[in-house]
Each structure stands twice: as C-alpha cells, then as structure tokens.
Amino acid sequence: MTPKTVTREYSKKCQGQNISPKVSLSYKRFSSKRVLLALITIAATFVAGTNAQSGDFRLLGSNSFNTKSRFNTFNGPSNKDIMVSLIQNISEDASKGALLAQFAVDSSFSKTTYRIDRETDPKRQFSIDQNGALRVAEKLDREDIARYFLRIEVNDEAGNKGSQQVTVNLQDVNDNAPFPITRPDPCIFMENTDPEAQPSCTIVGIDKDTPEFGPPFKMRVGAGFKYNDHFNITFLPDADNGNGALIIKATKRFDREAAEPGKLVQIPVVIQDRNGTEGENSVFVVIGDQNDSPMRNGNTNIKVYSYLGRLRKTTIGRVYVDDKDDWDLVDKTFTRVEPFPEGFSLLDNGTIIMDSNMPPGTYEFSSDVYDRVRKENATGVVKVVVLNVPKRAFENQGSLRLLRGASGRALRSSEHFLKHGTSGQSPFAAFKLAMIDLLGNSPTIQIFSIKEGFAELQTKELPVVDIRFSVTGASYYSSTYLNGIIAQHRTKLEQAMNVNIVSAGIDMCLFTTCDSGCQTKNDATFDGVVVNANETIIVGIDAFSMDKCVCPVFVAPKACEPGLCLNDGVCHNVNPSGFFCECRNDLLKGFRCQGTTRSFSGQGYAWFKPMPACTSLNISLSFMTQDPNGLILYNGPMGDRENKSGGASVKDEVEYKDYISIRLIEGNIFAEIRFNRLPVTYLNLSKPNNLADGDWHSVRIAQSGKHITMTIDACQTMNTQGQESCFISVFSVDDDERLNINSPLQLGGVAPLDGTFGYPLFVSQSSDYNGCIRNLHVNGEQYDLATPDHTHQSTIGCKLWGSACDSNTIDSVSYCIHGDCYANLKGNKVPKCSCDPGWSGNRCDQAIEWVEFPGNGASIEYISDVVMDSLQDNVGLLFIPGKTQGTSGSGDLTYGGRGETTNSVYTSMENHHATADVHINTALNSSSFVDTKLSIPQVYLHETTPYWLEMSRDPTRAVLSLDGVYETSEPLNKKNDLLSSQITINRITLGNGQRTNGFGSSFQGCVGTYKWNNRILPLWQYDNATENNSLDQTNTNGDSNPLIHISSSKGVKKGCSQRPSCGSLQNKDSFCPSGQLCVDFWKGPFCTCSITQKPQLNEDGTISACGTVMPYSSLGISVSAIVLILVSISLIMLLVLLMVVYTRRSSPHFDNVRPEETKHESLKIYEIEGGETDNNRHNITNLRIAVMPLDPGNLPANNYHPLVDERLSTMINNLETDPNTGLYDELRMYNTEGDNISRLSLESLESTTDGASDPIDSVHVS
C-alpha cells in the first residue's frame, strides 16, 4: 500500500546552515492493519555546513507480521502511518548531548515513544529522548567504528509501531597521535657481535587518522632513554618514502645475559604529525641469543586444570633445565628416564604431552638433556599435578581482567603473571595472598585459568589477561561475593600485584548487540591453555565469556536440578512435571526455601546477585523502620572511576555508570535510576507520607522500556490523599532501557571502598538503613534473605519485633507452626502469620479441610459485609484438577466483581494451564476497556496433583504465579489514572462460570484453601455457626478486611476423593525406599527422611538416602529464651558457690580454749538426770572447740614421749586440731609421779586410715 505524499517542511533558517531544521511527519489512516513496512536507508555524512538529507518511515499495525508490540497492546482506533525525516549531521569529535536529528509526529496520534534498536548501536553511543531528539550519548571514534546503521523505532499507545534505518558515516578529525613500529619487526641485534657486523633497523610512524592528518612525521627519542651509549638513533626526514623515520645502529657488543641493557631494550619515541599532534610510545629492540652459557639440572612444576576431568590430549609444557640461554633449544636433545609414567610422552625437543582424561593426582618423571654444541649433560625433573575443576567451581568463579601492555602497570604477557617481579613475588602469588587476607578464615584459592584476551571499551579494544579462580571454605564462595571483594578492594589488589585491574569480573553485556535482555555466559572447551614461566607452568582451562541475548531471570524448570532448592532444602519431582521444595528449616518460608526477612543495624549491609540486564524490570520489597533516613537498596558501580587521578587513566578501564537506588529521606521514599551514563531519572513523590512509623510498607518499581513507575503500599492512601502520595510515573532520559551492572546488589547499606573512589552522591550522602526488609522480589524471583553472598552487621529475621515470633515451645521454632511470622512496632509487636498452603488458623496450626466440586454447576458464592471498591486484589487458591474435567482441561476457578465481565478479576483453567484475566473499564465508552490476560503455559495442570495459584493486582501491574515459582506479570494502566483502576466488588464466587463469552465453564476438582485479599474464606457452610475469616496477612496500611460470608453453596461435597495421601496409596508399603518414610505435604505424598536424619542428596537435589540419626532435634525455644535459661542456671550455681565459700570462711562463735583448761581437775562432772531434756541446762560449747596447738617452748621436754607410729601421731594431731571434731569418747591424761603408763582410748580412730594397707589394731606408747 502506498502512503500519501510525504510532507517535508524545512525551515528556511536551516538552509545552508549548521543548525537543526524541523521535520513534521504526516499520518495516514489505513482501513486494514495488514501494512507492508517500507524502509528507506538514509546516508548522512556529518559535514558542517551541508544541508541535511531526509527520509521517512511508517508505523506498522500491531498485528502486522503477527508480532506483539513492545508495549502492551490497546484496542484503539485504526492504525496509521508515521513518516519521519532525518535532520542533522555531526562529526566524530561531537560532545555528549550534541543533537544529531529531531523526529516529530502528528499531534493527532496518541503518545509516542522513541527508541534505538540496540543491535545497531552496540556501545550505546546514541540516545533518543521522549521528544524524538536523537543525540550523542558517548564519545565517538571513527577509528573504532566508522559507520553506524541506526534503526530508529517509534511506538504509540494504540499499538502502532514503525522503524527507520539511518546510515551514519563519521567524519574524521585529528584525534590520534602517530605511533611507532620497527622494520623489521622484531628488530634484533645479536649478542657477541661487533657493531660493524650488526644490521640497522628503522622506526616508522603509523597514523590511524585519514591521510590529511598523517605524514610527513617528525620523530625523536624520548627523554627517558638511558642507552644512548649502546645505540646510535638518527632521524632522517626523507626516509620511509619521505614520511620520515629513525634509524637505529648498534655502537657496542651486547651480552644478552648481562643486566644492562638486558634482553629487551625499550626505546621511547615521540612522533608528531603534519598538523602538530604528537604522542610518545615505545618500540622494543631484542638482543639475540647465542649458546654461550652453561647448562645445569633443573626442576619444572606443572599444574594442570582439567575442566570436568575431560581435558583432551594436549601439550602441557617443556622440560626445564637451568640455562641462561633462551634460543638454544635446537641444540638440545631430551631423552626420558625410566620409569616413565603412563599417559605422558616426551618429544626430542623437550615437549611434554599428556593423554586425555588423565585422572587427578601427582606424577613425577625425569629427562636426560644433552647440549650437543657445548657437549654438556643435565637432568630435568618434572612434577605434574592434575586437578579436576568441577562444574560448581566453574559456575562460582571469580574473575578479573588485568591490563596487558609493554609499559606501565601492565603485564607484558600472561607468562608475566607467573614470573617474579622486582618485589621478589609474582602477581600470581601476590593476588592469592591478598585475597586470602581479604576473605579471612584461610580459604583455598584455585586459579584455574590464565588467558590473554581483549576487553571492549567505549572507543577501543584493550589487551588484557583474564584471570579466573574459585575459592572454597566450608563451601564454594559465590561469584557475586568474589567479584564484589575485588571491586571493593581494587586499589589494594592493584598495589599488591603492581598491575592495573581493567575490570572486576568479566562482563560481555556492557557493550553488546543484544537489543533487549543480555546475560554473560561463562563456558569452556576441553582444551588446555599453557602459560609457561620456565620453572612454573600452568595449564589452565580454555574458558571464555559470551553475551547471550536473553533476560537473565529465574525460570522455574520442569524438574529438579542442582541449586533449585536453597539452604539444604530437598527437591521432589512432581508427576508429570514440576517440582516441590521441602524446607528442613522452619524459619525458611520461601517456596524454594528462601529466607523472607532480614534485619539491619544501621551500620551494615548485605550482598546479593546484581539486577538482571532486562528491558523490563519489576522490583518489590517491604520495609519497616523508625529511623527516618537510610539507604534501603543500591545496585551500581562500586567506586566512581570517572574522575580517577593517578595510575592508569580511566580510558584503560571498563566503566559502569548505570545504577538504581532506593532510600529514605526524612521518612519519605526517594529513588534514582541511571541508564547509559546519562542524567539520572528521579522517582520522587510530590505528596510523600512519613513511612518511618514502625509499620510495614511496600515499594514497587516497575520499568517497561522507557516507562518507569513507583508505587507505595499499593496506593492504599490514594482515596484520602490522592495518587500523588503513593504513585509516580516518568519516562527515562535515555532509551537504553536496561541496567548494565556488574557488581553486587547491596541491601541496607553499602560496603566501604578502599582508595579514593566513592559511590554516586545520592548513595554516599545516605546513612545505612536501621530496620527490617522482607519479601524482596526481582522480576518474579524471590531473593533469599537468609543467606546473602556477603553480609556485615545484618542478621536473618527482624530484631525490631523482638521475640514476638518466637514460639518457645518444642513443636516449632516459629510462632507460626506452618507459616511465615512477622510483626510490626506500630501494632505492639503482635505476631501475624502468613500460612503455608494447606494450613490455617491464627498460628497456622490447623490442617485445612478439602471440599470437592463434582461439576454440573457446583459452586460457592460469597457476600461481603460492605461493598469493596478495590484498587488491589489478592487471590490465593489451593486446588486439584478433577479427573472428570474433560479433555478441554478448562474451567473457571475464582471470580470477583459486580456479576459482569467488565471491572472484574478471574482465575481459571484453560487447556490444562493456569490463567487469569483482569477486566477494567476505565471510562464510560467501550474504547477505554482494558483486558489483560496472564497465562503460565510451562505447567500442564495434571489431575490429582495439588497446585497453589496466586493472582495479585494493584493499579500498575498484574501478577500470576503457580506453586510460588512459576510467574508471569503484565503492566496495567499506562494512562496513569489510578482511580480508573478501581474495581467494585460485591460478588465473589468459587468454581462456577461467570463469563458469557463462551469460554466459561464450571470447575471440577477439589479446593483446599481460598483466599481473597489475604483472608482465608470458608469452604463449608455450617448451620447456626458464626463465620470468622482468619486474617492470613494484614494489609500494609493496617486496615482490616471486611468479613466475607458464604451466601450459597451448590453441589459442593466435604472431603476430596481424588486427593492423594500416604494412607490412600495402593503400594504404600513399597512406595518409599528403605530408610525413608512417606509424608503428606500440601503438594501430595512424598518420601523423605525423618526430622532427626540428615538427607543425602543427589546432584539434582533429590534424596538419595537418609543419613545417620542426628544427636539433636530442633526445639521451638527462641534464642532469647535459651539465653534466659542459661543465665538462670548460672545464677543458681553462683549462689551455691557463694554459700559454700561463706560457710567455709565464717568465723567461729566461741572462744579459743587454752591447754590448761583441758586438765582433768578443771572438768566439772555433772550428774546426768532427767534424760535428754536436761542436756539443755549445760553449756558444753567450749568442749567442742579444738585445743590450741601446744607451744613446746613453754613445756618441759620430758613431759612428752615420742610415738612409736608416726602415722598415728599425725592422725591424733589432726584430730585434736580439727575445729569440727566433737568431744573425745574418752580422754585420760595422767601426770602422777611414779606412773609411767599413759593410756588413750582411740575408739574414734577405728576406721581412720591414710591409704596404708596395714590396719591399725593397737598402738602402744612407751
């Protein structure tokens, strides 16, 4: 079809002038949407003062070629043609922001959006704004890309789209200094040769600019050259055909092995072109080698890294002997020494070849080496260590790119990464030691790939050496953590290695031809890459990285696979497709065993994987704090390299400028997004609310192309405060449409950086976040907040709610037995539960009761206490498709609305797949009717298999998910009139068809749980019973939902005859392997291990066996309760100890007794009469007091007779001096003249012994 005549209106002011003329584009309305695209290629040369050339293009109808518009399709007026003309040309030295062309469309069209197909602009060097202004976004360089074939695209709200190809040729400017090369290359002067016998070399200039900016050249040797006495270097203007050249001649004999001038002589050369542009670069002169040094025995250590143990037959190096000569290999013959290990072969020139699939281990062998020129023999000893690199190590690799070059802080080659520098240490060893110091805990670092390559920069390719490594401690460290540590401590690592880091991590998506999403994929061949540093050889993996044009988001597989269930979760395959994660930890409530909540101290942070590089982004999270200021989320460059000073210039590094950040400022939420290094896009509410109130609040940032929205608390404040209080919609400055980020997503704060580099101002001015964050979702994937890649002063759970979610019982760790617990400060820390599928009750401790819908119109209808004018809807349904559903596999599941198809929300089954429909009539006319349909085609709904379906809608987006892992979403309401998204709901149904379009049918199957706006609705109508919907989860603004009652129930039966369970299995005795037991989960019966056993998992995460019984089990006692118990026990023990000490050290309450008081005549004898009651009349305290030690100086020596038995003497002495000893049984002391016999009655000592084997029967004292 031929469009109408294109109208070109050039402003007369633009004729012959270097300014931008304006072009208007006319429209043509077509009667059919089947329109053929007409592309007109325009060649535009950027020459100042020339008239702009022009062209036009059309918008295609949204149904043309059966393709879907980049934006959501709206049913609007008939499609039209849009004709666009090119306006302006500029040259390669244009500054950023320079206008290249201006596009315009007829005002009769709905709002249009421009973009550049990034396949035609791989380095993001152009941008087009919302007004159609095509500008320079980054520095251009004709020597890098001389010609662009830009494809400009335009879309409007009605689904029309069009494109225009524009060929752009860059005009050259004199922006490159000439650089020198030698002829011949390399230039060689042999050692031990007289100068007269040496040939000369020529240094000529090369200029990348066009000839008018090239020769003739002027050349001179740089001031830093210090070997003028070895060389005569002269400039000849007529040399090199009149272009000018330097002639090098030798003036001395050289010794290659001497320290001066060395084996390689660097000559700095300054070259100036005809227009005065000059620069300094170096050439190198090689001192040739002769076989003039003795040969000695040598040792070679070779490490071979075999990817997956499948390294092909390959050369792994050469036998090394100690010889200062380098070029004498042809003079040597190598012969292997027996025994020689199998799997290795040795060539005559010393080359070692290893067979394929060599098992890991250490292999040693020797080679005899004969130098036939010098008639010398030596032995080379070789030690080969073969190491397998498993898939997990490769997938968790850290990587960095080191600058490769001839001068400065650069590696001359990959071999120099292994060679010792001036510090006596190789960059290889320095890097490992520095990383061990930074990581702590003495991890194992394995550098398994060293390979030369090129890094793509904005205007050139840069030579680099790619380093790939893995780190293991208790497990493998993640790539996110390792690359983040390199970025955080970049300066320290550069200083340790004395090499500039070009980039932390290897990313192929910063510059790519991928137009939409991009993902860097690391892969490898089964070949080896040899890096030979003589005595040390590394045979690394032939690894490489490539860009894959997909949006790198989590896509749930159809079966279990490695790493699918997190945190030691067990994966179970579901028949016929799908999977289910069994979480062995009660605190992990994500469907893949993720942690949902994390706490931040105000001085910490947590790292997670970066945001995906997608043209559509959907981020949501909830937060709670009482601190009005804090950084909630940041993902962007770690260190501003743009203003780097000292060391390597920024042009020798890969720069990242894109970022996204969310922070609280005085209790209000602010966000920034930067695409393609252009000015920041701000997301600031015009009427913000204080969100630092101790309550949970949600924030969602959604991006689709250039359109970005931010919604707070699903806009529940809109009815009272207007949508300005909760919603903002903007268009980004640039059309790049995706974040290009290669550093960790940082939550709750940012890690400190070494050196002088900082974060963007918006981030660096923010304090760290003091509060809690939960339910972080990015593009349908729930992030695991339990186990970040790296964390500092951040813990799982939420400290703000204290012990509110602690159960302090032995049945569960959490207050919510089968659910996710949370609380807020605003509500006095009252715990709330979000129950797992299949459970209900305030503590999620009640198993749900199933009901069955046998078809034939079986349904349940509900009424609400109030009419709900809803801006958001949340539907949850646990259901089992019926066996009699029919071959169509279709049926309505849930409905909410006014009993009609407009302004309603559906969920249903269509052809055995889960679907949802959102119908919104935004105005009175039918043209404003919006029908958004969502479907999950990757899951086939199978009979007898339970499924958990969730559908949520807010004013900006609708989301449908299945089993918590399969998800799809679509944006809503692009006109930004949120009030029009309100749906009045006075009718809620379950199981019956409400639609009149022919697709509606009744559901057949079973239902276990039905939630509407987070309330669990009743499934059975009891007589004379009061219904009370349990609130599964409160709204973020604290409002409670109205009670919803069953108004009628038709054909519904209690129970579910088709629900599988362990008890109903026909082969239940043989259903589970030995050692496993059958457990009924919400997803059905599965075989697992008991709670006291640790499962042993296969590679795909499924159970292979149950381990030994663990000596402990989980108790539902909180940490605070355990601490309280331990403190109580400690206090009791301390009290007992104090009592013992007090008893031991307390002073006696009686006086000491002198020895003379114990004389017989001093003792008073009382008649004991009256029995026991008379004992109280006598004070015998002093008789229980130990006798004071006798002072031998006051007594005659002959008054005492030595005891025959020294042991008995010691016992008696101890007994007499023991203050706790009672009265003696009998004490007789005779001192009568002439009596030479003294007797003691020792009945109290009958059982006394000191461990001697001989009993003491009697003792005679003489």
pLDDT in the model for residue 1200? 41
d(CA 419, CA 410): 13
pLDDT in the model for residue 1228? 45
Residues 247-256 have pLDDT tens digits of 999 999 999 9
Helix (H) or strand (E) holding 1119: helix 1119-1145
d(CA 564, CA 579): 9
pLDDT in the model for residue 560? 95
Q: Is 26 left (phi over 0), alpha (psi -120 to 50) or beta?
A: beta
d(CA 964, CA 948): 7
Question: Which range, 13-22, 679-688, 734-743, 933-942, is most confident?
Answer: 933-942
Which band of pLDDT confidence, cut at 50, 70 and 90, is reported for residue 1234? very low
* CATH class label, 848-1044: mainly beta
- Inter-residue contact 125 to 171 (CB < 8 Å): no
Q: For residue 839, what are the CA distances in angstroms to 290, 708, 948, 1016?
A: 85, 38, 12, 10
> Which residue carries 């209106």 as its tokens?
9
- Inter-residue contact 427 to 538 (CB < 8 Å): no
- For Cα atoms 533, 266, 327, give the angle at the middle one, nearest 5 degrees: 40
| SS3 letters across 265-327 | EEEEEEEECCCCCEEEEEEEEEEECCCCCCEECEEEEEEEEEECCCCCCEEEEECCCEECCCC
Task: Give φ, ψ of 179 to 5 degrees.
Answer: -130, 150
Neighbours of 1248 (CB within 10 A): 14
Q: Which of 717-721, 1215-1219, 1229-1233 shows the lowest mean pLDDT across its residues?
A: 1229-1233
| SS3 letters across 143-168 | CCCCEEEEEEEEEECCCCEEEEEEEE
Is the pLDDT reported for residue 1208 higher than 70?
no
pLDDT in the model for residue 993? 59
Residues 345-360 have pLDDT tens digits of 999 999 999 999 999 9
Is the pLDDT reported for residue 662 higher than 50?
yes
- Inter-residue contact 82 to 160 (CB < 8 Å): yes
Is the pLDDT reported for residue 733 higher than 70?
yes
Number of H helices, E strands in the chain: 8, 74
Which band of pLDDT confidence, cut at 50, 70 and 90, is reported for residue 679? confident
- Inter-residue contact 534 to 320 (CB < 8 Å): yes
Beta strands 42-45 and 161-169, pairing class:
parallel
Question: Which range, 33-47, 289-303, 882-896, is most confident?
Answer: 289-303
pLDDT in the model for residue 1157? 53
- For Cα atoms 36, 37, 40, give the angle at the middle one, nearest 5 degrees: 140
Q: Is 459 left (phi over 0), alpha (psi -120 to 50) or beta?
A: alpha
* CATH class label, 594-802: mainly beta
Q: Which of 6-20, 115-129, 452-466, 839-853 shows the lowest mean pLDDT across its residues?
A: 6-20
Under 8 Å CB-to-CB from 1258, ≥6 apart: which residues? none
Which of 938, 981, 975, 895 lies closest to 72, judged by CA? 975
12-169: CATH topology is Immunoglobulin-like (2.60.40)
d(CA 1006, CA 944): 9
Would you state the structure tokens that stand for residue 944, as one six-digit string?
Answer: 């007898």
- Inter-residue contact 145 to 123 (CB < 8 Å): yes
Q: Which of 43-52, 612-621, 1046-1055, 1205-1214 shows the lowest mean pLDDT across its residues?
A: 43-52
Which of 244, 246, 245, 250 lies closest to 228, judged by CA? 250
Higher-confidence position of 831 and 1179: 831
Higher-confidence position of 40 and 745: 745
Neighbours of 935 (CB within 10 A): 15
Higher-confidence position of 153 and 1194: 153
Helix, strand, coil percentages (3-state) for the chain, rounded to 5, are: 10, 35, 50
Q: Which of 254-258, 491-495, 688-692, 952-956 shows the lowest mean pLDDT across its residues?
A: 952-956
Mean pLDDT on 504-522: 92
179-288: CATH topology is Immunoglobulin-like (2.60.40)
| SS3 letters across 692-727 | CCCCCEEEEEEEECCEEEEEEHHHCCHHHHCHHHCE
- Inter-residue contact 637 to 763 (CB < 8 Å): no
DSSP state of 174: S
Residues 552-596 have pLDDT tens digits of 888 899 899 999 999 999 999 998 888 999 999 888 999 999 999
Q: Which of 57-61, 202-206, 410-414 shows the lowest mean pLDDT across its residues?
A: 57-61
CATH architecture assigned to 295-389? Sandwich (2.60)
Mean pLDDT on 905-925: 81
d(CA 872, CA 717): 12
Is the pLDDT reported for residue 210 higher than 80?
yes
Which of 90, 212, 109 lies closest to 160, judged by CA? 109
Angle subtended by helix axes 479-488 and 490-497, to nearest 10: 80
834, β-bridge pairs: 820
Would you state the structure tokens that stand for residue 556, as one six-digit string?
Answer: 């749930």
pLDDT in the model for residue 1145? 65
Which band of pLDDT confidence, cut at 50, 70 and 90, is reported for residue 809? low
pLDDT in the model for residue 1143? 73
Under 8 Å CB-to-CB from 312, ≥6 apart: which residues? 356, 526, 527, 528
Which band of pLDDT confidence, cut at 50, 70 and 90, is reported for residue 1211? low
d(CA 808, CA 812): 8
Is the pLDDT reported for residue 40 higher than 90?
no
- Inter-residue contact 691 to 951 (CB < 8 Å): no
Q: What percent of the chain has pLDDT over 90?
A: 48
Q: Which of 510-519, 539-548, 733-742, 1141-1150 shows the lowest mean pLDDT across its residues?
A: 1141-1150
Rg over alpha carbons for the chain, rounded to the nearest Å, is: 43
Higher-confidence position of 692 and 165: 692
> Which residue carries 């401690």 as its tokens?
473
Q: Which of 20-34, 910-924, 973-987 shows the lowest mean pLDDT across its residues?
A: 20-34
Neighbours of 642 (CB within 10 A): 12
Q: Which of 17-21, 601-605, 617-621, 712-716 shows the lowest mean pLDDT across its residues?
A: 17-21
Question: Which range, 657-661, 993-997, 1219-1223, is most confident?
Answer: 657-661
When the pLDDT of each residue in the chain is averaged and rounded to a whole number, the result is 80
Buried b / exposed e across 676-713, counting CB within 10 Å, b at 16+?
Answer: bbbebbebebeebbebbbbbbbbbbbbbbbbbbbbbbb
Which of 863, 943, 856, 871 lies closest to 905, judged by CA? 871
Which of 388, 202, 424 lies closest to 309, judged by CA? 388
- Inter-residue contact 963 to 946 (CB < 8 Å): no
- Inter-residue contact 710 to 688 (CB < 8 Å): no
Omega of the bond leading into 186 within 30 degrees of 0 (cis): yes
Residues 685-707 have pLDDT tens digits of 878 889 999 999 999 999 888 88
Mean pLDDT on 398-406: 94
- Inter-residue contact 297 to 342 (CB < 8 Å): no
d(CA 423, CA 428): 13
> Which residue carries 């999270």 as its tokens?
621
Is the pLDDT reported for residue 938 higher than 50?
yes
545, β-bridge pairs: 522
Mean pLDDT on 103-132: 82
Is the pLDDT reported for residue 71 higher than 50?
no
Which band of pLDDT confidence, cut at 50, 70 and 90, is reported for residue 1148? low
pLDDT in the model for residue 1242? 38
Task: Give φ, ψ of 213 to 5 degrees.
Answer: -115, 20
pLDDT in the model for residue 899? 73
Which of 1059, 1060, 1086 lies closest to 1071, judged by CA? 1086
pLDDT in the model for residue 272? 96
Amino acid in position 1167? E
> Which residue carries 């039905």 as its tokens?
1010
Which band of pLDDT confidence, cut at 50, 70 and 90, is reported for residue 1156? low
Under 8 Å CB-to-CB from 984, ≥6 apart: which residues? 867, 868, 869, 870, 897, 898, 903
Is the pLDDT reported for residue 49 higher than 90?
no
Residues 1072-1110 have pLDDT tens digits of 998 999 999 999 999 999 988 999 999 999 999 998 765
Mean pLDDT on 284-313: 96
Which of 885, 876, 877, 832 lies closest to 855, judged by CA? 885
Amino acid in position 203? I
Angle subtended by helix axes 427-439 and 490-497, to nearest 10: 150
Higher-confidence position of 929 and 500: 500
Which band of pLDDT confidence, cut at 50, 70 and 90, is reported for residue 425? very high
pLDDT in the model for residue 725? 86
- For Cα atoms 1085, 1090, 1092, give the angle at the middle one, nearest 5 degrees: 160
Higher-confidence position of 3 and 192: 192
Under 8 Å CB-to-CB from 1112, ≥6 apart: which residues? none
Which band of pLDDT confidence, cut at 50, 70 and 90, is reported for residue 1212? low
Q: What percent of the chain has pLDDT over 70?
A: 76
